[in-house]
Structure 1
């Protein structure tokens, strides 16, 4: 009996050693920590530890652009490779859901311009929703701004991108829905700190209802239940981890929705940036009526608004977990990475979007002015790091239409209302 147990134990040890050797040999050409090559335990522990993005950045500084962080997992930090893989994955998703695109539609600038002309019918698709939310804001003296803006953006993107008439009705069931609980959860994350924000109405309305501000704390609507636990867990509140099952399109939609809402958060935290943006909006208002909703051609001239939103996207997405893509044979057709099938490719936004060689030494500072540099090479590098957003707007022009429409919403809201913290309004009423 003892001999049988000994033989069984010996065979198990042999099997374990063979398995570890197989794990090590699978990606032996990719440099990385030794223990990461034989077991996935190292990656799981590192990912669950604080400062994972900074840890990955240090690994890439030591090992290069491609680092092995698991037996079948690699981390990459080269935006060209990430863009190539993301384009192929997005192209496959769109084709599977009935959006017939050729390879040239993903990579050709001429094709992209042709598609942009094709989507002109989408201009103004947000106007009615925008008028409704303005009416709603004027009716309510105190507003749960993050939830309201989040639902506003999700409803609009759901109508424009998810219910795209060019997609077969039989296949739309497979498209990512923006109003699912998981998406709502990830969108609400860091925006919980905006719970105490309100939109102040016109000055006359403020004077007429001045005393109602004293009850601002009790009258604030509460966040949904799914966001309550995030308030007490700031680490998890950064963002929900993404798995290989998450589509590139759903991540792109999430980045647009989150950027739209977080823009107001960053503006409130940076009064100088807010004043500069308001100055740009007021300057542009001289050339049109205040009540009129700007057109796309006008929105494209708001250079500082574009810089603010890109900087907001950079800071927001950098707080997310790694974004994983499960590689297939077709995923590597346009990639220089010598990786076997079934390899999981991960990339962390912090590594790309906090690269000091690209963004400068003040990478941790919210400074929209960095996007207004005259050096086109540096600006292109910064814009290419906003992945997968830039891949989505290139390969799926309707995403570009949604992005322009959301920009219009920011301009209209800031030109019609003064955005401030509820506490400042409370102190004003008490004084």
Structure 2
């Protein structure tokens, strides 16, 4: 019966349509058989077309760079994974000029004039997918921070909420907290290294100091690194491994969506099946829980007067912001703000401190000249007498050679060692005469722009603090505008002043207490670029130094 109906139905179908239908099926079968028989060649053809598309993407083929970089981001991935990307970028720009293509859709700019264009206010530039790779995760949820978010409106709202916590007036209030950790650091350095004659892994020791300062500033409680001289709860090791992962994977963010932040893994964490919690997040949760009742009072009335009398720390400031901006500042935002302080605030400060001490040791003339400035300031009363020979924030700002040393060290060895990526808005934009299509990733690497000879002179690879003192006013302004170690524009590191507070206090205080030298005078440190350029093999010895005081005292 069905067959009869089918035959009947066919009578009403035009023969040309039947032939067309059969012909389509035959062609499909032939194509499928060819694909199955010659799939390696077909795959190779599609791959070739994909790579050619990458090379000529947006017309970026006119920009020079490594051959393979034009075809695939795997070149960037493996270059960053080599841990020497900052040196690669310096050499590429010296070979090819001010604009270098680092990937199918990535351009690096060396001219400091590009900073204002790429990172300036109201340029409609957004951060790239490199940054969300660095977001911490808690209970299956990403923790967006000021640093890692791509959403400019979210960033602006977030920054308005917490700006007060990083204002200059708040900074002065944090100085006693820095002094507390600094005193412990001086005491432990004397006891563990100076008195015993033991060598010190100075970069790690400075990292312990920076972590404890952030703990004191955030929770009024040191994490215990300095007192115990060890990596508490493996936090330092975790942060190092986390950055080792983020730096190369950030060059191909799709890998992060596969390995770490895929929806299935996040769901399992949310349901409690997979309970992976970052050590930093776990510590932040524990510290916040210990002070839950205290924070609840601040959240309710917005007043810091009812706090425990320990002084005002960042957790209190963030909770006050929660009272003032309840529509935005949630418990999740407070936690994110605290964890980001550990991630960003400790690593970069420790790197800068290591750079300053290393360059001083390697340049005895500069070291001696700085000590003369410190001793003269002590003699004439510009530095007051205090326990541990502490130098105050206001006193350090009146020491011009110290300022020159700090600036020069951060110029030669800025913490970030990759380009600070931004995405060109859809309409495209002009960057120093180059018409860049919308969607292109552009940026500057601080290691490259800090060595631009037109701005910093004919000896950009030389540690010479005098360049900051001898420069004419216009040149000095240009030099300062070309410094990118803390970022630029609306996305300038919000903790910049806190980092400078630590640096400008610890460096002169430590040098007034100890003579510092390399454990092996001929050894050189090694660098490890995992987004931030850490220092390895920086081993020192300390000797007590007789402090200079004002004659009146």
How would you bin the TM-score normalised by the shorter chain?
0.5 to 0.7
Q: SS in structure 1 opposite 2:173?
A: helix
CA distance in 1, matches of 2:236, 2:38: 52
CA distance in 2, matches of 1:334, 1:36: 23
Distance 2:100 2:63 in 1: 6
Partner of 1:379: 476
Listed as ranges, the gaps of 5+ residues in structure 2 are: 1-29, 121-125, 128-145, 221-232, 257-338, 522-539, 544-553
Structure 2 counterpart of 1:37: 70
Asked if the contact 1:35–1:42 (Cα under 8 Å) also holds between the matched residues in 2, the reply is yes
Mapped pair 1:313 → 2:404: no
Structure 2 match to 1:101: 159
Structure 1-normalised TM-score?
A: 0.65
| Partner residue of 2:211 out of 147, 151, 154 | 154
For the aligned residue pairs, the C-alpha RMSD in angstroms reads 4.7
- TM-score of the superposition, structure 2-length normalised? 0.52
Q: 1:49 to 1:155 in 2, by over 3 A?
A: closer
Change (3 A) 1:346 1:23: same
Q: Could you tell me whether the CA contact under 8 Å between 1:36 and 1:71 is conserved in 2? A: yes
Q: Could you tell me which residue of structure 1 aligns to residue 377 of structure 2?
A: 284
The one of 248, 254, 273 aligned to 2:347: 254
Q: Tell me if the contact between 1:65 and 1:78 (Cα under 8 Å) persists in the aligned partners.
A: yes
Q: Which has the higher helix share?
A: 1
Deviation, structure 1 residue 71: 1.3
Output the CA distance in 2 between the equivalents of 1:402 and 1:66.
31
In 2: Cα distance, 1:243 partner to 1:299 partner:
38
**Alpha-carbon distance between aligned partners in 2 of 1:279 and 1:304, rounded to the nearest angstrom:** 10
Conservation of the 8 A alpha-carbon contact between 1:280 and 1:302: yes
| 1:365 aligned to which of 436, 455, 462 | 462
CA distance in 2, matches of 1:315, 1:64: 20
SS of the residue 1:27 aligns to: helix
2:55 — aligned with what?
Answer: 24
1:167 is aligned to none
Whether the 8 Å contact between 1:115 and 1:397 is mirrored in structure 2 is: no
Structure 1: give runs of 5+ residues left out of the alignment: 106-110, 165-176, 188-235
Q: Distance in 2 between matches of 1:14 and 1:69?
A: 25
What residue in structure 2 maps to residue 74 of structure 1?
107
Contact 1:153 1:260 survives alignment (8 Å) = no
CA distance in 2, matches of 1:365, 1:248: 34
Q: After alignment, is 332-341 or 61-70 more displaced?
A: 332-341
Summarize deviations over 1:246-289 as a string: whole Å, max 9, x none. Answer: 99985675332211123222211111111111111111112144
CA contact (8 A) 2:99 2:109 kept: yes
2:250 matches 1:243: yes
Q: How many residues align?
A: 354
What secondary structure does 2:462 align onto?
coil
CA distance in structure 2 between the aligned counterparts of 1:334 and 1:117, rounded to whole angstroms: 39
Distance 1:349 1:321 in 2: 7
CA gap 1:365/1:252 in 2 versus in 1, 3 angstroms? farther
Helix, strand or coil at the partner of 2:159: coil
Whose RCO is larger (CA < 8 A, sep 6+)? 1
Q: Counterpart of 2:365?
A: 272
Cα–Cα, structure 1 residues 372 and 311, in superposed 2: closer, same or farther, change >3 Å?
Answer: same
